[in-house]
Amino acid sequence: MKIVILDGYCLNPGDLSWDGFAAMGEVTVYDRTPTDDEDGIVRRIGDGEIVLTNKTPITRAILDRCPSVRYIGILATGYNVVDTAAARGRGVPVCNVPGYGTASVAQLTIALLLEICHKAGQHNQAVHQGRWSGCADYCFWDGTLIELAGKTMGIVGYGSIGRAVGEIARALGMTEIATGPHPWADGERPAPYVPLEELLERSDVVSLHCPLFPETRGLINRERIARMKDGAILLNTSRGPLIVERDVADALNSGKLRAAGVDVAETEPIPADSPLLTAKNCVITPHIAWAPLEARQRLMDIAVGNLRAFLNGSPENVVN
């Protein structure tokens, strides 16, 4: 059985092992595959039966040209890179990896928030530049620092990651409210349900943890930002296109938003002309919330388990 991994470097730059897959077949690993080269993708799949991808697209046209494919594994949670309907029509299951990064994504979400509140990186740099050594007082700080206790955290998308973020927020003394696609009964989940518009109006911090669907694309735009509190903080560690970057940048530059912390961008890698790069008080990390070694090992283990379950006749985490 031939197993083709189209873009393995992000998951495994050398600190993990592909041995779990190698135990089930002949494995070919490509670090990267150009996403805009259909012919190249088809050549690399060849007569492979098992295809694993992270960001390399598997379209209907590619599936038409690769009839040997029996299984598609996503080395991630999001599966929008695969034409799942086309795969289903061919009897090809598409299996993703949910849940592997709950702790790490929640951790980075709060790290971005704490960086905004205390500017630890900025102050560390200032100290190393000698500003504390030459200070007339025993301490100094740049700008207003923020205490989170007593403030309201609004969580948009209350799945496992949203709930994990809420748990940390409560530990910091914050009040948690949340919204999702369907209301829930009081006590069913830890956070009270409120409609999105009310959440935006009440929250001091708005954190996005929803999937990217047509109805969530551009969820945070000029009109919705206008409903938010003056000086609110926006966090996005979910999907870049959930926000309209120009609208968020304008709100940061005008002071409507106090700050933003994002780990994702509309286009990745982030373009050099992204308005977020020059916006005021915008902390940006390069899509690393999922990347701690422990989380990537869980991802690898679940992906191996998905393939093993398929070969045993009981596929798991099927999204189509």
According to the 3-state scheme, what is the secondary structure of 48-113?
CCEEEECCCCECHHHHHHCCCCCEEEECCCCCCCECHHHHHHCCCCEECCCCCCHHHHHHHHHHHH
Whether 201 is catalytic is no
Among the listed residues 26, 147, 167, 268, the single catalytic one is 268
Whether 268 is catalytic is yes
> Please, are residues 225 and 257 in contact by the beta-carbon 8 Å criterion?
yes
CB atoms within 10 A of CB 58: 25
**Distance, CA of 69 to CA of 268 (rounded, Å):** 28
> Please, are residues 297 and 20 in contact by the beta-carbon 8 Å criterion?
no
3-state secondary structure of 119: coil
Among the listed residues 123, 163, 287, 298, the single catalytic one is 287
Among the listed residues 239, 258, 296, 298, the single catalytic one is 239
Whether 217 is catalytic is no
CA dihedral 212, 218, 224, 229 (to 10 degrees): 70
CA dihedral 268, 271, 275, 278 (to 10 degrees): 110
Residue 269 CB partners (closer than 8 Å, separation 6+): 286
Q: Long-range contacts: 216-220, Cβ < 8 Å, 24+?
A: 216/242, 217/241, 217/242, 218/242, 218/243, 218/244, 219/156, 219/243, 220/244, 220/247, 220/248
Residues with a catalytic annotation lie at 239, 268, 287
